[in-house]
Amino acid sequence: MRHHGRMHAQPGVGLRPDAPWGYLPASSFRSRRSALSDAQRQTWERLWPQLGRQADTGEAPGETPDTPLDTRAWFGRSAPLVLEIGCGSGTSTLAMAQAEPDIDVIAVEIYRRGLAQLLCAIDAEQVGNIRLIRGNGVDVLKDLIAPQSLTGVRVFFPDPWPKARHHKRRLLQTGTVSLIADRLLPGGVLHAATDHPGYAEHIGAVGDAEPRLVRADPDSESLPISISRPTTKYETKAQEAGSHVCEFVWKRI
């Protein structure tokens, strides 16, 4: 299923009894064609060693698969850090990073073509505050992100898995939200969006149930990151078809 044109990691179900957050989705993905154009392949070969890494290998400078990312070494500076899970082709990622040059952004996506599109855009626009990880967002949170190290987490239009028997595959489950809360700094923000009514109800319930998160009111309080995101052409089409977008903003207390 292609949701708003974004290509997302599709989590299955896994039991993690050793983790303090309990149940976490396991890695399970739908197949996608990922052939790159010649220009995309050339850009990938030139920039991926510097700006990208696989979630399950130690490609980032000074890293191994079993240690959290050294983001200061990777970005070459110390700055507030945002993780975007399921960046698709990176339209929102690029625009939001350009609007906040003092914030570093790690974009996570399983599909190579989407990452290649974002990499080409980064190159064309000469944006210096984005890095890319190819892999499952839950695995990245669990294995590569240190506790209380993120200023923000963004999850825009994850696959809603609309059939009831597939609801357990949804990314934003109780365990995942607990893990996100663990990785956020105090005051850090979880920003999620969906246009699926059933998933919106689910997201609201699991977010509100997490004791370390409280709803934030962007109109009345200052937040450490912007929650102003661009409207993509896919979202515009969905809205024209009658879909309503629900936005959620929580802050870690």
Residue 97 token pair: 């990073």
* Alpha carbon distance 209, 44 (integer Å): 41
Burial class for 20, CB neighbours closer than 10 Å (0-12, 13-18, 19+): exposed
Q: Is the pLDDT of residue 231 over 50?
A: yes
- Whole-number pLDDT of residue 246: 94
Say what the pLDDT of residue 22 is.
60
CA separation for the pair 180, 213 (Å, rounded): 10
- Known catalytic membership, residue 159: yes
pLDDT of residue 20: 61
Residue 98, pLDDT score:
98
- pTM value? 0.86
Catalytic residue selected from 18, 66, 139, 159 = 159
* The pLDDT of residue 90 is above 60: yes
- Statement: residue 1 has pLDDT above 50: no
Average pLDDT over residues 235-242: 80
Q: Tell me what the pLDDT averaged over the chain comes to.
A: 87
Inter-CA distances, 17 with 13, 46, 171, 184, 239, Å: 13, 41, 18, 22, 40
pLDDT value for 235: 81
Please write the tens of the pLDDT for every residue from 149-162: 999 999 999 999 89
pLDDT band for 224, please (50, 70, 90 cuts). very high
